[in-house]
């Protein structure tokens, strides 16, 4: 497992870390999702997560499960019942890779996540692509209107950081700040911080 920080640019601090799960052969989440997991065996996943949190003293309200926007959900009702069960235990829900699928806004309305993570496809070159930046700015307004946390993923350049900050994005994640660190959290001293905006 590797950990990558999510940065709170307004407060210049690490907001949280995303745990990037890899399978035994190093495969990504797409392969892991084909196995019994949080969607196919939610009770078992919840039980294991609750047990691990109890053993370590980790607060449940700091745990968020991610669904990718491009995951095929054949039975939305079933998915909503799983999300309800996760929330009943205090877990957050994030919609990951937002902007890569065809049903993004419909899925956002149906699943009502606590967090939306903008995909790198929307973030890449947003400092030089006015259409991408306009989409990001409209997502900032939408997220604010519906009370959802917005995270820009895949931030790799200072130009992107500045454009996103100018559009009102508070939370960012990507190689610009820190690469994922295996088996441990990235220390705050190892984060590359952009120059603060003068008040």
May I ask the CATH architecture of the domain 2-186? Alpha-Beta Barrel (3.20)
pLDDT digits (tens, 9 = 90+) for 110-126: 889 999 999 999 999 99
Q: Span 98-119, mean pLDDT?
A: 84
Convert the pLDDT of each residue in 177-188 to its tens digit.
999 888 778 888
Sign of the CA dihedral with 43 first, then 33, 86, and 5 last: positive
Which residue of the set 18, 69, 153, 160 is catalytic? 153
CB 117, CB 95: distance < 8 Å: yes
When pLDDT is averaged across residues 158-171 and rounded to a whole number, the result is 97
- Known catalytic residue: 69? no
Q: What angle do CA 81, 86, 89 make, to 5 degrees?
A: 130
């Amino acid at each position: 497992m590797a950990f990558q920080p999510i940065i709170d640019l307004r407060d210049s601090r690490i907001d949280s870390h995303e745990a990037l799960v890899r399978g035994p052969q190093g495969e990504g989440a797409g392969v892991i999702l084909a196995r019994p997991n949080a969607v196919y065996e939610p009770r078992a996943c919840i039980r294991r997560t609750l047990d691990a949190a109890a053993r370590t003293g980790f607060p449940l309200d700091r745990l968020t499960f991610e669904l990718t926007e491009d995951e095929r959900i054949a039975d939305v009702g079933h998915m909503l019942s799983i999300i309800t069960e996760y929330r009943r235990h205090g877990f957050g829900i994030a919609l990951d890779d937002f902007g890569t699928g065809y049903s993004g806004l419909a899925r956002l309305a149906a699943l009502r996540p606590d967090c939306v993570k903008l995909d790198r496809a929307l973030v890449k070159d947003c400092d030089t692509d006015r259409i991408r930046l306009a989409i990001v700015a409209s997502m900032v307004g939408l997220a604010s209107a519906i009370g959802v946390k917005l995270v820009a993923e895949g931030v790799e350049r200072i130009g992107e950081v500045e454009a996103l900050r100018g559009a009102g994005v508070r939370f960012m994640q990507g190689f610009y700040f820190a690469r994922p660190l295996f088996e441990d959290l990235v220390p705050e001293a190892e984060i590359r911080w952009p120059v603060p905006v003068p008040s």
